[in-house]
Chains A and B, each alone.
Chain A
Amino acid sequence: MTFFEEQLEQGIFQIGYCKNCRTTLWPPKDICHICHKKIEWKASKHLGTIIEFSKKDSTYFGLIEIDDGIRILGDILCHSEPKIGQSVKMNVSFHNKPHYSFIVENN
């Protein structure tokens, strides 16, 4: 498993960051594609905004933007229909593949 995946398993979403270029690297990689130096990791604030959403069966899913413009597809957990621009809290886990879910606050 990669460091990113190990951290997901522990519920932490780590963001790759190049201190030299001040650039966020997503999806995760170990080396900065601009200066080719090793990247550093910083834990996400686990907060995001809904960009777009739809629903499969009884579960909403959508495209969410979190820290530094990083966009992720994941489930949206809410009591009523979510709205574009709504704030969400991110939960992550890892079982063979990443799982991202986003809880709508004040829903």
Chain B
Amino acid sequence: MNKIAIVGTGQTKFSKENDDVEKILFESANTCIQSTKNCNSDDIEGVIVSTNNNSKYLGAILSETMGIQPKISHSIEHLCSSGTNAIISAYAYISAGLSDLILISGAESAINPGQILEWDKSRGDLEHPIYWGSMLTKLHKTKFQTTEEELAIVSAKNHKHAMDNPLAYSNEPRTVSEVMNSKQITDDLRILDCSRSCSGSSSILIASEEKAKNISEQPIWITGIGQKTTSASFTKNILEGIKSTRTAAESAYKMANIEPKSIDVAEVHDAFSVCELMAISELGIVTDDKSGEFVRDLFNTENRMINPRGGLIGAGHPLGATGISQTIEITHQLQGKSEKRQIPNIETGLIHNMSAAGTSSSVMVLKN
């Protein structure tokens, strides 16, 4: 199989400002191109935009704004995992020989329609994600004896990591006690257990092996990809786990020819605190009943292995940009460019991005 690499990255700061999507797409795409060597607009053969925003024709608009006339140009929407879906689509174009260099840009404004899936009649008028988040949390507490403190540690850890991420939405430290005493949203969720929908844009450039060596001194190779969609409606899910993540991870590990124990660093989709615990179990990093203890150990030893950029809870969740931002973090970690967040001596990283209560998941493995 042809080797495909990440060769450029660019991001805006995630914020609560209701930024214009076209404007921030341009900002992150421009920073992305500038992060490369010997790359100009003429080299880019594909432009894919990932967003839940209702704006039309964004692939062509971003191309024109950047002075690119690509062969391939379109948008991708897949709720919260739009970003990784866009990267994986670009991978497939390059792998098929239809392109050698593709720009993938994701963006969202703070007010976006992506949180609510009107189609899902099984949720009735309880459409907001807090309702399914509460169901997953309640069951995890009962089935695996997960404590409120263990859930709060996920949030405190990710807020702490976000402190060292200048582009994160949150730059405020949150203690375990502050999380446990934050505003109660439901009996099983507090406000600091929830990721925040926000504004932001992230861009990434991926290339064929030959092109990658001309553009980047430190290409990061995409060695494993897995995707699975089990349903669209939340109520088809089992509450005990995230089946789509487990299946996607198995495919990604098989393609990369690795075991979960090889993962040195991972960005996982912590839409709510409980999602991080469930994700690390489904990814095979730890067993279900030990996930709370595992995260407590990471927190106590200041080990940044899980969600070093702050995850969705600390860094914010601009839906269409999230999967790309996660991928940028793992890329920078493997390049040794994560500054204060850097995890030493690492070779293999993982990205886990999911949609709509885990009804669909994407997993990618990267190597330096």
Which A residues have a C-beta under 8 Å from some C-beta of B? 4, 26-28, 51-56, 61-63, 70-75, 97-100
> Residues 162-199 of chain B: 1 if any A CB is under 8 Å from the residue's CB, otherwise 0?
00000000000000000000000111110000000000
User: With an 8 A cutoff between CB atoms, is B132 at the interface?
Assistant: yes
How far, in angstroms, from A70 to B235 measured CA to CA in the complex?
8
Identify A97's interface contact among B124, B138, B188, CB under 8 A.
B124
A-B CB proximity, top 4 nearest: A71-B235, A54-B134, A55-B187, A100-B124
> Residues 231-256 of chain B: 1 if any A CB is under 8 Å from the residue's CB, otherwise 0?
00111100100000000000000000
How far, in angstroms, from A15 to B306 measured CA to CA in the complex?
43
Check A63 against B187 for contact (C-beta < 8 Å): no
Binds A, one of B19-27, B115-123, B270-278: B115-123
Check B121 against A4 for contact (C-beta < 8 Å): yes
A-side contacts of B294, CB under 8 Å = none
A-side contacts of B124, CB under 8 Å = 72-74, 97-100
B90: min CB distance to chain A, Å = 30
B-side contacts of A72, CB under 8 Å = 122, 124, 235
Check B185 against A98 for contact (C-beta < 8 Å): no
B-side contacts of A73, CB under 8 Å = 122-124, 126, 131-132, 135, 234-235
B-side contacts of A71, CB under 8 Å = 122, 235-236
Shortest Cβ distance from B121 into A: residue = A27
Total chain B interface residues with beta-carbon distance under 8 A: 28
User: With an 8 A cutoff between CB atoms, is B139 at the interface?
Assistant: yes
Most buried by B among A61, A71, A72, A73: A73
B-side contacts of A54, CB under 8 Å = 134-135, 137-138, 186-189
User: With an 8 A cutoff between CB atoms, is B125 at the interface?
Assistant: yes
Q: How many A-B residue pairs have CB under 8 A?
A: 70
A56: min CB distance to chain B, Å = 5
> Residues 90-126 of chain B: 1 if any A CB is under 8 Å from the residue's CB, otherwise 0?
0000000000000000000000000000111111111
Identify A52's interface contact among B123, B130, B138, B236, CB under 8 A.
B138
A73: min CB distance to chain B, Å = 5
Check A63 against B125 for contact (C-beta < 8 Å): no
A-side contacts of B235, CB under 8 Å = 26, 63, 70-73
B-side contacts of A98, CB under 8 Å = 121, 124-125
Check A99 against B125 for contact (C-beta < 8 Å): yes
A-side contacts of B126, CB under 8 Å = 61, 73-75
How far, in angstroms, from A27 to B187 measured CA to CA in the complex?
28
A-side contacts of B119, CB under 8 Å = 27
Shortest Cβ distance from B239 into A: residue = A52
7 residue pairs of the A-B complex, CB under 8 angstroms, read A27-B119, A54-B134, A55-B187, A56-B130, A61-B126, A61-B131, A73-B132
B-side contacts of A70, CB under 8 Å = 122, 235
Check A27 against B122 for contact (C-beta < 8 Å): yes
How far, in angstroms, from A55 to B188 measured CA to CA in the complex?
8
User: With an 8 A cutoff between CB atoms, is B209 at the interface?
Assistant: no
How far, in angstroms, from A73 to B130 measured CA to CA in the complex?
12
Shortest Cβ distance from A75 into B: residue = B126
With A4-B121, A52-B139, A98-B125 given, can you name 18 additional A-B contacts, CB distance below 8 Å?
A: A52-B135, A53-B138, A54-B134, A54-B189, A55-B187, A56-B187, A61-B186, A62-B135, A63-B235, A70-B235, A73-B124, A73-B126, A73-B131, A73-B132, A73-B234, A97-B127, A99-B124, A100-B124
Most buried by A among B121, B135, B185: B121
Check A27 against B120 for contact (C-beta < 8 Å): yes
Check A97 against B118 for contact (C-beta < 8 Å): yes
A53: min CB distance to chain B, Å = 7
> Residues 119-154 of chain B: 1 if any A CB is under 8 Å from the residue's CB, otherwise 0?
111111111001110110111000000000000000
Check B186 against A55 for contact (C-beta < 8 Å): yes
How far, in angstroms, from A73 to B128 measured CA to CA in the complex?
11
B-side contacts of A63, CB under 8 Å = 135, 235, 239
B131: min CB distance to chain A, Å = 6
B218: min CB distance to chain A, Å = 47
How far, in angstroms, from A71 to B233 measured CA to CA in the complex?
10
Most buried by B among A27, A54, A72, A97: A54
A25: min CB distance to chain B, Å = 12
Check A97 against B135 for contact (C-beta < 8 Å): no
How far, in angstroms, from A55 to B134 measured CA to CA in the complex?
9
